[in-house]
């Protein structure tokens, strides 16, 4: 199960290094390589430009924004817009900043990540090892669910939840995320467990372990890479969600994305570009941090899921 | 130590009848090897004894108790897998004690058994390691240890040495045989390697297409194969088969190849019929006074012996030569076949006559 794609890559330059005296031209700076770097830098600049504009704008006062170009660095940098965005800006009727939205998003994201991962892992485990009757049919139906557009299901879900009396609450939005996350989570874990030798499962059965013990003591501890991948997918998905939060979360639990929209689309007074920029960056910070912190795991998890071994 | 009885066992997987009406008795303390090519059903049979594959009909008795529908852990078996199947996140010690901990065995008893098994398998120094920090041979020893601590009535081995390199395989093979001598437990061992089967088994079960072809001691199976399949599967180079006829006087002839098979070859006198003659390479001797003649077509040096392939008319026979005589392709030789050690088979159904 140990996958070290970088190990292969490292061994190549090492082998080439031994022949270095016979090959005077450096591998690093051939024209093709310069071209690649030029292309990559341009692409990176292109995609980083909006972020740059957002950051500099969020650090300027409104007067300075009106007076200078959008690419100009701030003359008198201030964190005041960030403070406003976090704690005083109006998100509809209330003017308490985005912090309530942040709290709501955390309250939605944590259970909406843990539950789908746990249930997806159990699903994947059951489908790949216990092979219940019609397992393939079950899996097929689950996958078909992934292709039905969310919009189609919103109205029926609203009706069902209203009937059940849970509409517009935290459990409602968590349940919706759980349902919509299930195909992806199940697929991830099923594919991961399919690459685990069946013999491992059989050995545990001979040792007398049952369904839950095999899952908790043997399979779950092996699943760290895929759990990280699942967590990244689910956290970013739930955090960035707008429509489900707007419809199902209810007035008290509106997530950060919905409140951000309220901040930016406010129709009264002047548009506070600096506060808007700060608010947007604040909202995007969670998924951004997650990608930076887990990039290595992310790649490893994807690779582990793709390669059998 | 327990006996094992299989009665009229049928296993159907994916609509295919993998095992058909199989009967098998294993005596207590026996080392039984299930031998056959891949796809012959030997692994499926082992898995059904372990309870990992359900039997469709028939009965499995272990130690005199009916275990046909029992859970794997209730059957009193220990199993060793080809891929070792060690729990990757557990230490060697935890791997070995996992089953005992589930069964709720007292801690002292677990410690005693694990220590005992570890000593026996020279794993004492590795108890706190993870499987990924072990070599292939060590991993397989841990897997054997895991079966040992269960104090199983019957040990099941599913091609346990196939993933090891040749040198280690021979080493662990000897260790397994020593272990069996020391424990005296009933062991059932699945392999497609005839050397493992010959060296380890007290009895070999040769299987093909879900059915038992022959059961016997390694020597019986080798010397008196029940049919052409068994004859061809055991032995390297394989037994040579020559289609021919036996005349009224019991003399076999096929072109230039002619001999009178000894009385020991067959259950009854064979006369006046078409037969297939089976000759093992060690029973073909190159001798100046040999009754038969042919030409050398190929020589394979093996170090301690050489295999000389001799062309005789339309047939090619291999001969094991243990002296260091030099043979070259194209050379004309005289040779003799040990007529008392040949086998005769029926050309239609391939059974031994």
Partner-chain contact A202 B85, CB within 8 Å: yes
The answer to whether residue B231 scores a pLDDT higher than 80 is yes
Q: How far apart are CA B269 and CA B292, in angstroms?
A: 24
Please report, for residues A50, A242, A249, B103, the alpha-carbon distance to residue A162 in angstroms, rounded to integers and kept in the order given: 42, 20, 12, 48
Domain assignment present for A29: no
pLDDT at A299: 67
Give Cα B88 to chain centroid, integer Å: 30
**pLDDT tens, position by position, B85-139:** 999 999 999 999 999 999 999 999 999 999 999 998 889 999 999 999 998 889 9
Question: B151 and chain A: CB distance < 8 Å anywhere?
Answer: no
**pLDDT tens, position by position, B169-200:** 999 999 999 999 998 999 999 999 999 999 99
Please report, for residues A66, A92, A266, B17, the alpha-carbon distance to residue A263 in angstroms, rounded to integers and kept in the order given: 20, 7, 6, 69
Locate B163 and state its tokens: 């993933």
pLDDT at B326: 86
Alpha helices of chain B — where are they, by DSSP H? 42-50, 92-103, 107-120, 136-149, 166-183, 194-200, 218-223, 228-233
Query: Do B262 and B312 form a contact (C-beta atoms < 8 A)?
Result: no
Nearest Cβ partner for B52 among A205, A209, A213: A205
Residues of B in contact with A217 (CB under 8 A): 87, 98
The answer to whether residue B165 scores a pLDDT higher than 70 is yes
Nearest Cβ partner for A213 among B77, B79, B102: B102
Query: Do A145 and A180 form a contact (C-beta atoms < 8 A)?
Result: no
Which stretches in chain A have pLDDT values below 70?
A: 1-28, 267, 298-309
Partner-chain contact B52 A2, CB within 8 Å: no
Residue A253, classed as helix, strand or coil, is helix
pLDDT at A302: 58
Nearest Cβ partner for B87 among A1, A205, A218: A218
Domain assignment present for A194: yes
pLDDT at A220: 93
Mean per-residue pLDDT, B327-339: 91
Mean per-residue pLDDT, B66-72: 90
Partner-chain contact A209 B102, CB within 8 Å: yes
Q: Angle B271-B276-B282 (CA atoms, 0-180°, nearest 5)?
A: 110
The answer to whether residue B53 scores a pLDDT higher than 50 is yes
Q: How many CB pairs under 8 A join A and B?
A: 66
- Which residues have CB under 8 Å from A278's CB, separation 6+? A58, A81, A82, A84, A85, A86
pLDDT at A77: 87
| Mutate which: A203, A209, A214, A221, vs B, most B CBs within 10 A | A203
Partner-chain contact B98 A205, CB within 8 Å: no
Nearest Cβ partner for A203 among B85, B89, B102: B85
Locate B306 and state its tokens: 């050489």
Query: Do A57 and A78 form a contact (C-beta atoms < 8 A)?
Result: no
Residues of B in contact with A202 (CB under 8 A): 47, 50, 52, 72, 79, 81, 85
Please tell me which of A6-10, B45-49, B323-327 the model is most confident about, judged by mean pLDDT. B45-49
Domain range for A260 is 99-270+282-306
Residues of A in contact with B158 (CB under 8 A): 199
The answer to whether the bond into B216 is cis (omega within 30° of 0) is no
Locate B37 and state its tokens: 């090519």
For CA atoms A67, A70, A76, A78, the dihedral sign is: positive
The CATH architecture annotation of domain B4-229 reads 3-Layer(aba) Sandwich (3.40)
Domain assignment present for A84: no
Partner-chain contact A207 B102, CB within 8 Å: yes
Interfacial residues of A (vs B; Cβ cutoff 8 Å): 1-2, 197, 199-200, 202-209, 213, 217-218, 221-222
Distance from CA of B78 to the nearest CA of A (A): 7
Please report, for residues A77, A221, A287, B1, B76, the alpha-carbon distance to residue A294 in angstroms, rounded to integers and kept in the order given: 31, 19, 11, 53, 46
Distance from CA of B293 to the nearest CA of A (A): 54
Mean per-residue pLDDT, B41-62: 92
Task: Note the pTM of the prediction, 2 decimals.
Answer: 0.81
ipTM of the complex as predicted: 0.85
Q: How far apart are CA A309 and CA B18, in angstroms?
A: 27
The domains of chain B are located at: 4-229, 236-345
Distance from CA of A181 to the nearest CA of B (A): 28
pLDDT at A92: 76
Mean per-residue pLDDT, B143-149: 92
Nearest Cβ partner for B102 among A202, A208, A222: A208
Nearest Cβ partner for A222 among B72, B78, B88: B88
Please report, for residues B24, B55, B68, B222, the alpha-carbon distance to residue B20 in angstroms, rounded to integers and kept in the order given: 12, 11, 16, 24
Query: Do B42 and B210 form a contact (C-beta atoms < 8 A)?
Result: no
Distance from CA of B52 to the nearest CA of A (A): 7
Sequential DSSP letters for B269-325 = ---SEEEEEEE-GGGEEE-TT-SEEEEEEEEEE-SS-EEEEEEETTEEEEEEE-S--
Burial, B203: exposed, middle or buried (Cβ in 10 Å; 0-12, 13-18, 19+)?
middle
From A221, which residue of chain B is nearest by alpha-carbon distance?
B89
Residue A272, classed as helix, strand or coil, is coil
| Mutate which: A129, A196, A207, A227, vs B, most B CBs within 10 A | A207
Nearest Cβ partner for A206 among B72, B83, B87: B72
The answer to whether residue B281 scores a pLDDT higher than 90 is yes
Nearest Cβ partner for A206 among B79, B89, B132: B79
Nearest Cβ partner for A208 among B73, B82, B158: B73
Distance from CA of B127 to the nearest CA of A (A): 18
Domain assignment present for A197: yes
Please report, for residues B110, B236, B241, B291, the alpha-carbon distance to residue B312 in angstroms, rounded to integers and kept in the order given: 65, 20, 13, 12
Greater model confidence, B99 or B325: B99
Partner-chain contact B82 A222, CB within 8 Å: no
Nearest Cβ partner for A199 among B81, B99, B102: B81
- Which residues have CB under 8 Å from A163's CB, separation 6+? none
Partner-chain contact A207 B73, CB within 8 Å: yes
What backbone torsions phi and psi does residue A108 show, to the nearest 5 degrees?
Answer: -80, -45
- Rounded to the nearest 10 degrees, what angle do helices A256-264 and A99-125 cross at? 140
Partner-chain contact A218 B89, CB within 8 Å: yes
Question: How many domains is chain A partitioned into structurally?
Answer: 1
User: What radius of gyration do chain B's Cα atoms show?
Assistant: 24
pLDDT at A303: 58
CATH for the stretch B236-345: 2.40.50.140
Residues of A in contact with B87 (CB under 8 A): 200, 203-204, 217-218
From A209, which residue of chain B is nearest by alpha-carbon distance?
B102
Full strand arrangement of the beta sheet holding B284-286: B284-286, B332-337, B292-301, B306-312, B315-321
From B86, which residue of chain A is nearest by alpha-carbon distance?
A200
The CATH number linked to A172 is: 1.10.3720.10
From B144, which residue of chain A is nearest by alpha-carbon distance?
A203
Q: How is chain A split among helix, strand and coil, in percent rounded to 5?
A: 75, 0, 25
pLDDT at A235: 92
Burial, B258: exposed, middle or buried (Cβ in 10 Å; 0-12, 13-18, 19+)?
middle
Interface of B with A in 200-219 (CB under 8 A): none
């Amino acid at each position: 199960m140990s996958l070290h794609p970088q190990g292969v890559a490292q061994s190549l330059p090492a082998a080439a290094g031994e022949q270095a005296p016979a090959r005077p031209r450096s591998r690093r700076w051939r024209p093709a390589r310069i071209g690649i770097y030029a292309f990559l830098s341009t692409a990176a600049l292109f995609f980083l430009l909006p972020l740059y504009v957002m950051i500099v704008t969020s650090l300027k006062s409104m007067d300075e924004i009106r007076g200078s170009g959008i690419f100009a660095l701030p003359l008198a940098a201030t964190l005041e817009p960030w403070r406003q965005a976090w704690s005083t800006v109006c998100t509809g009727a209330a003017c308490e900043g985005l912090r309530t939205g942040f709290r709501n998003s955390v309250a939605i994201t944590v259970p909406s990540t843990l539950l789908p991962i746990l249930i997806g892992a159990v699903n994947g485990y059951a489908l790949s090892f216990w092979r219940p009757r019609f397992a393939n049919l079950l899996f097929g139906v689950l996958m078909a669910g992934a292709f039905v557009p969310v919009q189609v299901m919103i109205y029926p879900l609203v009706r069902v939840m209203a009937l059940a009396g849970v509409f517009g609450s935290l459990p409602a939005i968590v349940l919706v995320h759980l349902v919509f996350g299930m195909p992806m989570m199940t697929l991830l874990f099923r594919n991961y467990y399919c690459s685990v030798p069946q013999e491992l499962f059989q050995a545990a059965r001979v040792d007398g372990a049952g369904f839950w013990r095999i899952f908790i003591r043997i399979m779950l501890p092996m699943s760290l890479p895929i759990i990280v991948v699942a967590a990244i997918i689910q956290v970013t998905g739930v955090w960035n969600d707008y429509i489900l939060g707007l419809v199902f979360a209810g007035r008290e639990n509106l997530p950060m994305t919905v409140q951000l929209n309220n901040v930016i689309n406010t129709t009264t007074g002047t548009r506070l570009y600096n506060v808007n920029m700060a608010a947007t960056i604040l909202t995007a910070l969670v998924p951004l941090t997650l990608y930076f912190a887990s990039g290595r795991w992310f790649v490893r998890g994807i690779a582990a899921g793709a390669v059998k071994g | 130590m327990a006996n094992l009885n299989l009665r009229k066992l049928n296993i159907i997987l994916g609509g295919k009848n993998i095992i058909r009406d199989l009967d098998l008795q294993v005596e207590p303390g026996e080392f039984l090897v299930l031998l056959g090519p891949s796809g012959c059903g030997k692994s499926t049979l082992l898995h059904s004894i372990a309870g990992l594959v359900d039997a469709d009909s028939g009965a499995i008795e272990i130690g005199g108790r009916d275990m046909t529908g029992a859970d794997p852990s209730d059957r009193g078996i220990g199993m060793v897998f080809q891929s070792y199947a060690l729990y990757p996140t557990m230490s060697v010690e935890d791997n070995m004690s996992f089953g005992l901990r589930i069964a709720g065995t007292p801690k002292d008893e677990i410690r005693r058994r694990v220590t005992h098994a570890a000593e026996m398998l020279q794993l004492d120094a590795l108890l706190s390691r993870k499987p990924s920090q072990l070599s292939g041979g060590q991993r397989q020893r841990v897997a054997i240890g895991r079966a040992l601590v269960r104090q199983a009535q019957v040990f099941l081995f599913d091609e346990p040495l196939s993933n090891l390199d040749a040198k280690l395989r021979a080493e662990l093979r000897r260790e397994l045989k020593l272990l069996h001598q020391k424990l005296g437990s009933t062991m059932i061992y699945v392999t497609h390697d005839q050397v493992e089967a010959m060296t380890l088994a007290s009895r070999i079960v040769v299987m093909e297409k879900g059915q038992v072809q022959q059961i016997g001691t390694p020597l019986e199976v080798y010397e008196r194969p029940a049919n052409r399949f068994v004859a061809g599967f055991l032995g390297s180079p394989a037994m040579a088969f020559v289609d021919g006829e036996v005349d009224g006087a019991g003399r076999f002839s096929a072109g230039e190849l002619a001999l009178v098979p000894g009385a020991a070859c067959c259950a009854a006198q064979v006369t006046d019929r078409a037969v297939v003659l089976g000759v093992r390479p060690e029973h073909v001797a190159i001798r100046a006074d040999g009754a038969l003649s042919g030409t050398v077509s190929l020589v394979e040096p093996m170090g301690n012996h050489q295999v000389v392939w001799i062309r005789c008319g339309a047939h090619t026979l291999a001969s094991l030569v243990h002296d260091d005589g030099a043979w070259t392709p194209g050379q004309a030789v005289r040779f003799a076949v040990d007529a008392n050690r040949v086998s005769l088979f029926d050309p239609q159904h391939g059974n031994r006559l």
